[in-house]
Amino acid sequence: MNSCEWCNYKDSKWLIYKSIYWSVYLADVQDYVGRCILVLNRHCECISDLNTLEWIDLKSLIDQLEQIYKEVLGAELCNWSCLMNNFYKETNPNPHLHFHVRPRYKNPITINHHSYVDVEFAHHYALKKEPVLIAEDRQVLFEQIKSHFKLKVKSVDILLSDSEVLRE
Amino acid sequence: MNSCEWCNYKDSKWLIYKSIYWSVYLADVQDYVGRCILVLNRHCECISDLNTLEWIDLKSLIDQLEQIYKEVLGAELCNWSCLMNNFYKETNPNPHLHFHVRPRYKNPITINHHSYVDVEFAHHYALKKEPVLIAEDRQVLFEQIKSHFKLKVKSVDILLSDSEVLRE
């Protein structure tokens, strides 16, 4: 059995948000602007091995991402996938559950004064596509998405503090 | 706004299972043996518009399908996706939420005495791949998957009748 890269992953440079069960990273390969990867915090091989709390938490992260992609970045739709193929190139696969999301844009999206066009819009995402986003724009995009996740957490905090006020 | 093909869909020839919230069909295009499509019974545009009951019910169908693919058909893993791209080819898109699942096989799978090889195993599923399954094998495969879904329902029935016995 190979050791698990995701279980050993410590780099939080591109970590947008970490919930109890999942970590959301801005993907290395920005072939589609805003592409993220949602990684389960514990080792688990497939969707059917997720428990109900992990599944429900995943939905709340999907809800947040879809809202940010559509309302902040202007995406039309999102392509979600859970494939896991690469792990099976190994003789003894040791898959770690994760989801990919690629927001898809009908209109050009502007990041840091640069315009990006989703040339495959309304078609399947291209395989082995080169990243389109330049390094400094990736940093700007990261901060933009992360700040909106923060707002969400803040609103939950307010909700919690409100409920505490009500209880007093 | 276009009328919705999935809302108007009445053909149950390839319907494997219908839950309260979802319908599971054996896909027309059997590019990967056992490929299915899970369609929400009501019109809904994206994952974030699903309610919690629909999301939890989806998980129970995923659980059943992954178990059947692995234990009955011998699949190694499953590729799940929710893309929705084709709807956006229309001027006024009217997307209806659905998921695709492609079981992936390390070893050849035999259906009705014919052997099928997943030539792209451990790689991304091929785009625009022609169906591999011949018509009569598709029927056999359909009955095989459907019969295992029935067993599941049966076991739930037994559980319910057991609980009724306990209550008497």
Residue B83 has pLDDT above 50, yes or no: yes
Residues of A in contact with B87 (CB under 8 A): 77
pLDDT bin (cut points 50, 70, 90) of residue A166 is very low
Residue count (chain A): 168
Cβ of B85 within 8 Å of Cβ of A63? The answer is: no
Closest CA to B142 of B33, B37, B16, B19: B16
Decide: B131 and B27 in contact? Cβ < 8 Å. Answer: no
Rounded CA-CA distance B162/B157 in Å is 8
How does pLDDT run across B17-36, given as a tens digit for each residue? 999 999 999 999 999 999 99
Residue A136 DSSP one-character state:
H
Closest CB to B66 among A48, A77, A87 = A48
Quickly list H helices, chain B.
52-67, 135-167
Cβ of B81 within 8 Å of Cβ of A83? The answer is: yes
How does pLDDT run across B105-142, given as a tens digit for each residue? 999 999 999 999 999 999 999 999 999 999 999 999 99
Closest CA to A67 of A124, A143, A152, A140: A152
Here the tokens at position B9 are 């869909």
Over the range B14-37, which residues count as b (16 or more CB within 10 Å of their CB) and which as e? bebbebebbbbbbbeebbbbbbbb
Substitution target from A85, A98, A107 for chain B, most B beta carbons within 10 A? A85
DSSP per position, A61-124: HHHHHHHIIIIIS--SEEEEEE--GGGGGSSS-----EEEEEEE-SS-EEETTEEE--TTTTSP
Residues of A in contact with B2 (CB under 8 A): none
Average pLDDT of span A60-88: 97
Cβ of A95 within 8 Å of Cβ of B82? The answer is: no
- A74 shares contact with chain B (CB less than 8 Å): no
Closest CA–CA distance from residue B119 to any residue of chain A (Å):
13
How does pLDDT run across A32-55, given as a tens digit for each residue? 999 999 999 999 999 999 999 999
Kindly report the pTM of this predicted structure.
0.91
Strands (E), chain B: 15-18, 22-26, 36-40, 77-82, 98-104, 109-111, 114-116
For residue A167, the surrounding DSSP H or E stretch is: helix A135-167
Give me the pLDDT at residue A9, please. 95
Closest CA–CA distance from residue B103 to any residue of chain A (Å):
10
Give me the pLDDT at residue B71, please. 97
Query: If DSSP codes are grouped into helix, strand and coil, which group holds residue B109?
Result: strand
Residue A165: CB atoms within 10 A of its CB come to 8
Here the tokens at position B132 are 């591999």
